Amino acid sequence: MTILSLKDVSKSYGALRVTDGVSFDVPQGQALGIIGPNGAGKSTLFNLITGNVPADAGTITLMGRDVTRLTPMQRCLMGVGRSFQIPQPFGNLTVFENLLVAATHGTGASEREVSRRCAVILERTELIDRANQPAGSLSLLGRKRLELARAMATDPKLLLLDEIAGGLTEGECQALVATIRAIHAEGVTIIWIEHVLHALNAVVERLLVLDFGQVIGMGDPATVMASKEVREIYLGIEV
């Protein structure tokens, strides 16, 4: 079954086409990695999928339903969870309250119903000892973990991760990758934008390469990375 389908999706800012006729399908349960140079339109693609940015043209289908005109809130309720590239915590709320907002509003449940689930997510993302601290006081690693934890709290079917491993040390990165693998193993579909390729390769089954807003390669990670086009454009290597 296809969980997400994009068909000829385009978005321009003035004369700049940041997303240019992008089409691809994501089968349920897959982990898809998205790579591409800076400015290729990766984050915009995420914003189009979540609805934070409206599409100029094309259709976005989620679980068989056309969501192109739906708001981020509606898509979240349908099961789209996301992390932001630059962490966006609710700084004055505690870490636990950050999850409570997401769990109650992202699923429509009551606080009582979700508080235990939030605690379990905090355990999994190793934030449990920080539960009662203001989210604004977290370190970078803590904020990245909170992005993941808060997205998980909305009980997503499709999880979008935007450079969640960026800026972390090797050890921190490995711990985060292990958590993401475990989440994926439970059947959550993942789309992951990442520059840290070894982190990405440890999880994803398929790779999509974006350049100047266009899909220039897609398929098995090893094959995609080996292709001449990708090596030239993405890695800047003359082949």
Partner 1 sequence: MAGDYRVHARTRAATVAGIVAVVLVIVGYALPAFAGRGLIQDLFFILTMLVLAQFWNLLAGYGGLVSVGQQAFVGLGAYGLFGAAILWGWDPVAALILSGVAALLVAIPTAFFAFRLAGAYFAIGTWVVAEVVRLSVAQWKAVGGGTGTSLPRDAVDGMRGLETVKTLFGASNAAARDILAYWLALTLAIATIGGIYALLRSKRGLALAAVRDNIEAARAVGVDAVRMKWIVFLTAAFGTGIAGGLIYLQKGRVSPDAAFAVTDWTAYVIFIVVIGGIGTIEGPIIGVLVFFALQSLFADYGTWYLMALGMIGIIVMLFAPRGLWGLFSDKTGVQLFPIRRRLTGGKIREE
Footprint of partner 1 (CB under 8 A):
50, 52, 71-73, 76-77, 81-82, 84, 88-94, 96-98, 100-102, 104-108, 110-111, 115-116, 118-120, 122-123, 128-129, 131-132, 150-151, 153-154
Which tokens hold the place of 102? 């997401």
As measured in angstroms, the least distance from the Cβ of 138 to partner 1 is 13
Radius of gyration of the chain (CA): 18
Q: How many CB atoms lie within 10 A of CB 109?
A: 14
Question: What is the rounded distance in angstroms from the CA atom of residue 22 to the CA atom of residue 218?
Answer: 12
Nearer to partner 1, 72 or 166 (CB): 72
Q: Tell me which amino acid residue 93 is.
A: L
12's enclosing H/E stretch is strand 2-13
CB of 21 or CB of 72, closer to partner 1: 72
Give 88 or 223: the residue with its C-beta nearer to partner 1. 88
**What is residue 235's three-state secondary structure?**
coil
Backbone angles phi, psi at 66, to 5 degrees: -70, 115
Is the Cβ–Cβ distance between 54 and 12 less than 8 Å? no
Q: Among 11, 33, 10, which Cα is nearest to 23's?
A: 10
The structure tokens listed for 109 are 């449940």
Q: Which is nearer to partner 1, 110 or 223 (CB)?
A: 110
Measured from the CB atom, is 95 or 224 closer to partner 1?
A: 95
For residues 43 and 163, give the distance between their C-alpha atoms in angstroms, rounded to a whole number: 9
Q: Least distance to partner 1 from the beta carbon of 156, Å?
A: 10
